[in-house]
Amino acid sequence: GQSLEQPSEVTAVEGAIVQINCTYQTSGFYGLSWYQQHDGGAPTFLSYNALDGLEETGRFSSFLSRSDSYGYLLLQELQMKDSASYFCAVKAAGNKLTFGGGTRVLVKP
């Protein structure tokens, strides 16, 4: 089966940088995704890493190390609207997508 670990909560101020770590255990690993979910809303896709290295998309970057079964999401220049829950998700064989427990990010003024 699959299991993912990420911190439950992170607090930071506007303009700061936050890194959300995700470690995973899985068989048949294809890639690691990140999703954002605001309270009461549906998750929305942020990024996907299939290969080792850093992927940058605007203020958000995602990193993957397949040998360490580890990835992280980096949120830069934090804004109040970034207050949300962030989930890492592992894609495995048969397109099975398993999510972590989520990290609640609280941005303070």
Partner 1 sequence: DGGITQSPKYLFRKEGQNVTLSCEQNLNHDAMYWYRQDPGQGLRLIYYSQIVNDFQKGDIAEGYSVSREKKESFPLTVTSAQKNPTAFYLCASTISRTGTASDSPLHFGNGTRLTVT
Least Å distance, CB 75 to partner 1, is 18
Least Å distance, CB 57 to partner 1, is 12
Contacting positions for partner 1 (CB under 8 A): 1, 30-31, 33, 35, 41-45, 48, 50-51, 87, 91, 94-102, 104
Mark residue 80 as left, alpha or beta (left: phi above 0; alpha: psi -120 to 50; beta: remaining).
Answer: alpha
Nearest residue (CB) to partner 1, 31 versus 83: 31
Least Å distance, CB 15 to partner 1, is 27
Structure letter (DSSP) for residue 107: E
Nearest residue (CB) to partner 1, 15 versus 53: 53
- Asked if residues 107 and 78 have their Cβ atoms less than 8 Å apart, the reply is yes
- Per-residue exposure over 19-58, b if at least 16 CB sit within 10 Å of its own CB, e if not: ebebbbebeebbbbbbbbeeeeeebeebbebeeeeebeee
Least Å distance, CB 83 to partner 1, is 15
Nearest residue (CB) to partner 1, 27 versus 109: 27
Nearest residue (CB) to partner 1, 65 versus 104: 104
Structure letter (DSSP) for residue 74: E
